[in-house]
Amino acid sequence: MSASAVAVTGLGLVTPAGTGAAAVWERFLGAEPTAGPDPELAGLNVDFSCQVADFDPPALLGGRLARRLDRFTQLALVAARQAVADAVLDPAAWDGTRVGVVLGVSANSVQTYAVEYARLEQGRADRVSPLMLPRSIPNMAAGEVGLDLGIRGPGLVVSTACASGTTALALGADLIRAGTCDLVLAGGTDSPRTPMTAVAFDRLGALSRRRHDPAGASRPFDADRDGFVLGEGAGVLVLERAEHARARGARPRAYLAGHGAAGDAHHFTAPHPGGDGLARAVRAALADAGLAPYEIGHVNAHGTGTALNDPAEAAALRQVFHRPPPVTANKSVIGHTMGAAGAIEAAVTVLTLQHRLIPPTANLDRLDDAIDLDVVAKAPRPLAVPAALSVSSGFGGQNAALVLTAA
């Protein structure tokens, strides 16, 4: 373990694959896709998504608090509470000034904007909710988590598009390494299942139009892929100074050993075709962790299932690894959760390290000939080397990578 490694002592997951680490893990092991018809998107070219089922905010948070929060914040708060419980922490007993929260958000409050702007355009300014601003601004995801759990250290929200959750985990680790915090709740949250978001991505040609088979629509690295599927969710990890965890008798699930980030400077939406920025982010993460490429046993890919992303990502991995280790793509099961994606995928990577088992990629029937990767499909595969990489990319040429190692 690197001297700068940060312990991961708790996981909180609210995803289309289930709520809680155990339920999510089982769904991923079975490679069971979650996409289905979405009433919110009825009548559109793309009328399906991956939804968090049986999510009842009033029951989970109380009616008054649930009404105050937009869905992306509701998801974050439930995941944060779960992560704290999983780490066996008591917010009433901790020193809140030594605890921070860093969350990645990309789409944030599209639901609130749609409802309130409609009222304004209808000449009903007096009916615009006074809660519109505190519900909609992205920083409230971290603000409400801090308020709920008594966190009085740094509270940050970062946005690097679809790499936001990964970036948040990197920043959280840096707060601990710098000695600013003993604990950081880090992760991401988003709920982009809205008509405008679906139409916007569809107009860009980014979404799958497999309406006849929603469950088979998200198919990263497959020759028949035609775009990603919108998803929603939140993932929060408790990051902790290793000495702090030992002092309270906590057993880490894994360690965040290194991270890296790099830009493409290539195109406002398309990735660099040779994966230049992502390759540099991966190399930086490996250097930060003090590991060589051959010491990585698995890659949890960004794997969107779009025409451009998958071959660019494969090219990046081929740059770094002479022979890339086994790859999986979690978006095949839960769709693309935007700002939450990197955090959820990092949490699944932690579970992969714990169980020494790589979950398969769903819907991979025929690997694209242009993608020279060993993609795990059909069944889980044993993890041979106890270190893994989780990578993310986003619009604007944003790339981020995490190295996680077994405890």
On whether the CB atoms of residues 272 and 309 are closer than 8 A, the answer is: no
Q: Which residue has the tokens 């006849």?
A: 212
- Choose among 340, 10, 288, 8: nearest CA to 176: 8
**Is 302 noted as a catalytic residue in this protein?**
yes
Residue of 259, 272, 298, 302 with catalytic role: 302
| DSSP conformation letters of 198-209 | HHHHHHTT-B--
What is the rounded CA–CA span in Å between residue 306 and residue 289?
A: 30
Output the CA–CA distances (angstroms, integers) from residue 118 to 114, 132, 142, 210, in the order listed.
Answer: 6, 13, 27, 31
Q: Which two tokens stand for residue 140?
A: 């409230």
Residue of 50, 162, 259, 272 with catalytic role: 162
Task: Compute the radius of gyration of the chain from its Cα atoms.
Answer: 20
Half-sphere exposure of 120 (CA within 13 A, CB side): 10
Residue of 50, 181, 336, 355 with catalytic role: 336
What is the rounded CA–CA span in Å between residue 229 and residue 51?
A: 10
Output the CA–CA distances (angstroms, integers) from residue 96 to 68, 88, 254, 362, in the order listed.
Answer: 24, 16, 24, 41
- Choose among 385, 293, 400: nearest CA to 346: 400
Residue 244 host element (H or E): helix 242-247
Q: Can you point out the beta strands (E) in 61-166?
A: 99-104, 155-158
What is the rounded CA–CA span in Å between residue 57 and residue 256?
A: 31
**Is 298 noted as a catalytic residue in this protein?**
no
Count Cβ neighbours within 10 Å for each residue of 32-44 and write b for 16 or more, e otherwise. ebbbeebeebeee
**Is 50 noted as a catalytic residue in this protein?**
no
Tell me which long-range contacts 109-117 makes (C-beta under 8 A, separation of at least 24). 109/70, 109/72, 109/135, 109/136, 109/137, 109/138, 110/192, 110/194, 110/196, 110/197, 111/70, 111/71, 111/191, 111/194, 112/70, 112/136, 114/194, 114/195, 114/196
**Active site positions, annotated:** 162, 302, 336
